[in-house]
Structure formats: structure tokens, C-alpha cells
A and B are shown apart, each in its own frame.
Chain A
Amino acid sequence: MIEVIDLHKRYRGRKVLNGVSFTAEKGQITCLIGINGAGKSTILKAIMGLTPVKSGLIRIDDAPVGPTMYEKVAFVPDHLTTPTGMKLSEGIQFMKDFYVNWNDARANELLKFFKLDRTERVGNLSKGTAAKYSLLLGLSQNTDYILMDEPFSGIDMFSREVIAEVFSTDLIEDRGVLLTTHEIDDMEHLIDQAVLLQNGSVQLAFDCEEMRTTEGKSVIDVMREVYTG
């Protein structure tokens, strides 16, 4: 379980995170939802230790975050960090050299699944293709958790469909997935838990199927109440 406890962060005088607390369980897809600037990406970066926070605690399987967690948690940022001059195959080799838990068979499987050309240069990829490649680099690590920052943002609908398919396969089964989005549309049926963020704190966190069972409300219904009510 990833636990985020009372996270605070200021940036240029603004309270970006103002006491954020939530948990993301293994074997579940948890979605951080919020409009642009709600602090979604900052939270993922904070979990990965990529940005300093003022106060608060992050624990992964009851242990504080540290260098060993990079073999336990994979991060798919919203833009590719692979050097643009590299071929896709070289980018994969690069990851393989860094990560003990790299799963080459899975990387090959995903190259086929996403129909990626391993000889293509990273800098030449379209936005949709870059998102698929980014996901490949994250999913090919045998980690217990995977964080994804806006995996659907700004991508054509066919690429979105292919990416959504990943969420109904064993590629994510048994892992804990924590992803961010500002538009829930394609994801509504796929996510287990929703965490609604506003003004740097969690307004509401709920189990989506439970919400449908007890209140007959879709995730979008709840979002409308929270954000416009």
C-alpha cells in the first residue's frame, strides 16, 4: 500500500499541496482526479522523491521512501525523458542497464502490442506513440506499483483505446496502479478507487463500485457535486 499522509508543499507562495492524505492499495487502480493545477502531478513526483515537500509522510508497504523503492515503484511521466537521439531499442537498453527488475520479454511483448518500431528515434515519435513508449518503459519493470501521470492526455482516441486496453490485462493485474487524470471519460469503468483533489487537498475518496451500488452515482456525478456543488 502507498500511504500519503498530510502532505504540504508551497511553490512560489502558493500552497500547492495543503494536507493531502490518501492511500493506494496493491491490486487496485486508484485515480487521482482534479482540474489542471490541483496538484496531481506534484503528488506523484513527491512519492517518487522528485520534488521536495515541506512536511508530510509517504510510506510504501509500511516503509519510508528511499533508494530501494525504485525497484518497487515505476513512474510513467507525462512526457518522455529518454534522450531524443536514441532509437527505441537503445532507450530500452538504457532502462535495462539501470533496473535490476527489468523484464525484457514484457518489453518485447509491448513493442508488438503497441506496434512500435524499435529502430525509430525517440525524437520522431508522435505524441500518442510517445505515450505508448513511455508506458512500455514503465510497465516493463517488474514493480509492485506503477504511477502514471496523465496517460491519456492530449492523445488521439485510437491511441487512448489501445492504452485503455492495458488496464484490462494481466499487465497491471496484482499491481497497485496510481494514475492521474483531469478527464475521467475513458477511465470510468476501469478504475477501482477515485480520489478527488481540489485546492491542494483531498475533497473525497471513494470506491467506484460501492458508490454505484449504494448511491447509484457515476464518478462523473460525484465529480459534478464536489467541483460545482
Chain B
Amino acid sequence: MRYLPLTDADRRLMLERIGVNSVDDLFVDVPASARLPGPLPTLPKHLAEFEVERIIGGLAAKNLSAGACPSFLGAGAYRHHVPASVDQLLLRGEFLTSYTPYQPEVSQGTLQSLFEFQTQVALLTGMEVANASMYDGATACAEAVMMANRITRRGWALVSGGLHPHYREVIQTMADSTGFAVQALPPTISPVEEIAENIDQETACVVVQNPDFFGRLHDFTALAEICQSNGALLVVVVTEVVSLGLVKPPGAMGADIVVAEGQGIGNALGFGGPHVGLFACKEKYVRQMPGRLCGQTVDADGRRGYVLTLSTREQHIRREKATSNICTNSGLCALAFTIHLSLLGEEGLTRLAELNHAMASTFADRIAQVPGCRVLNESFFNEFTVELPISAAALVDKMAKVPILAGVPVSRLYPDNPELENLLLVAVTELNQIQEMEKFVQLLKVWL
């Protein structure tokens, strides 16, 4: 077996030193009834590299990859270009095959990149501090709600109908399992959502999204003030991180906690995972934050260096009193994010965001000209909602046969809301081309 270096000669010599006759003798503490007599007969035997490639390559070939056809899918995962150098650097064994940097003297590479990641996330979100990543945007969002519960010592969260349904559902699961209350406002396509009137003196936090699930942009400055006067925290969610290159950041609107899905920078769609959760907040709340934090310090010779810090919040020190049970997070995805954002820089990110918006705006104008189609958004970044004269799911299925991945039918995420049945979420990134849009529009004109 190519990954296993021990030979029979090694084993004999080693067993002799240990003083037993066989490897099986080392398993004496296992009850005999639970010890299998030999390798499981119902599973296949080991395979050559090319045989494994054949099997998994065969499974891959059964899928329609988003890059193989025009794709307008978003709803929390966006297909952006990832420069080749990002992946080449990720594959460096020193990054790929190291552990959480608990020995800082031999982990400065990981630690410094995390420090850079935290700085980038703070800058993008307009917040004072950021942690070293969470599993994904949805889990980061639920952790933000639980953090708000700790800070305010209150127990219910008000959730906007514009929040991504998966995020809302994860909050609900955590609420049901850990014991807090959630009021989720219904998803609505009307431009105004009366969030503020639902806030009271017991509200721990208000969770809103920008751009929201339907793609609309909001200024939450006034809402932040209302939250503050009621002692509630404002949690702002961003599911398309590239938008922060162009759109006013949540920090500038007065958000207390900002969480985001960072996949759009540096990370593949990957059928939904692994992605990377960004988590930022005001500095005064840092000791209630979940997850790992990297901090600057000096070494014995006075040189600048980095360590994991404030770990008295964490499970490996605080055990049942920890702020969260999170341990492993999304280190390598965070590194991908950091490298890609370093390549983009100020100018690149701004241009990339502008290009996304320009392409989406162009597409929205063209779709709006199709009889029967209505673009519902007054504002958006790179994703908008189209009202069709037919069921969006039916159109998507028909388009998939072309093949065009036409967008996400809102009903995929809201199956029980008939009023949303004809709504299609359409996302456009720098990877979409004008010809693709023309083809899409042409088909709409023929089919609708």
C-alpha cells in the first residue's frame, strides 16, 4: 500500500522490541466480541491511483459543471474566477499539511496569514476586529446571534425576511436546540420591511442581510440607531463578499456584528463546501467572540511575531464555559481568501466589484425588455430577482436541458410560499459573457 511505509521486516523488529507476537496482540484491550477477524469482506480492496481516478472521475463526469455552460446561479454561492496562483500556493505542503498553529515558533506562516486575513476582513466590513474564520456564513450567522444573546443577556432574535433561508434555518436549529427564541419575518418582495416596529426591550439582536436574499441593497443606518436605543445589537450578514468592494460596508452603517460568506473570494463553488465564514465585530465585544483569534506579540529577542490569543474564550481552555464549541474552522479557505484578496488589492477588488455590477445591470436591462418579465429590484449589486409569467422552477429545468443554469428559483428555498413561485434569482459575475445573456434572453422571448 503506497501510503504505508512499514515492511514485514520492520513489523517483526518492532513487535520484538514491544515484546508481543503480533499486531493483534496490541488490541487485547478491545473486547473479543468486537474485534473483526480480518478486513471487512463487504468493502473492496485497495486500488491503484489510476483506478481511483477512474471511479471518482466517472462520478464527476455525471455532473454538469457550472463552467461548462452559461451559469447565473447565486443565492449565497458565487462563481468568481480564482487566479491560478491562489491554488498553487494553497498546495504548498507547509500550508496544506500543517495543523492549527499551536506551536507559534514553527507556524508563523499560518499565523501571519491569519493576521492578514483578520485585517482584510476588518477593512472590508468596516469593523474594528475580525476572527480567524468560521465554518461558513450560515454558521457564523448563528454564532453571531448566540454572541448577541450573551452580550445583551436577552434571549430572542428578530430575523429579517431578507435573510438567506439557510441562514435563518441554521439560527432556528440553534434556537430550538440551545433554547432561545426567533421571530423570522416573512420573505417579502415589497421594497420596505417594517423591521423596526418589531423590536422591543427584550430583543437581543436584529439580523439583516445586504444585499438581501432578493438582491436588494439597504442602508441600515437608521435601523442601527433604533437597535441601539433599544439595547439590541445589529447583526449584518453579507452572502456575496465581492459586493463589499463597491457597496457601503455594514460597519459604516453602525453594525455591531458583521458575518459574511467569504467563498466568493479565493474559493470554488465546491457544491456548497467547504466555504469560509467571516466574523467581525466592535472591539468592545471581542471577548465574547467565538472562534480563534490571532494576535501580534514579540519573541524572546524582541522581534514581531504572531500567536493565537484570547483563548480563554475557547473550548480547549474553558470547556463547558466556552463562548462556542468551535475548534477546527476554515483555515485553508481563509488563506485562499487572503491570497486572492492580496492579488486583487484595492484597485482589483474595486474593479472586480464594478465589473460584476456593470454586467448584472446590463443583464437586468435586457431581461426587463422581455415581455412578461419584471425585474423587481430597484437596487442590487450582482444579483436580482425576476418575476416570470411562469413557475421559475419550470423555466430552470427547461433551461438546464440547453444547457443553461438559469438561476435559482426562489421556490427551491421557499417551497411553501406560492406567492414566490414565479421568482427567479439571477446572479451575474465577471465570468458571464454578453453572448450568454443574449442567448438567455432569446430563449425567454421564445418560451414565455
> Are A and B interaction partners?
no
Binding site for A on B (CB under 8 A): none
Binding site for B on A (CB under 8 A): none
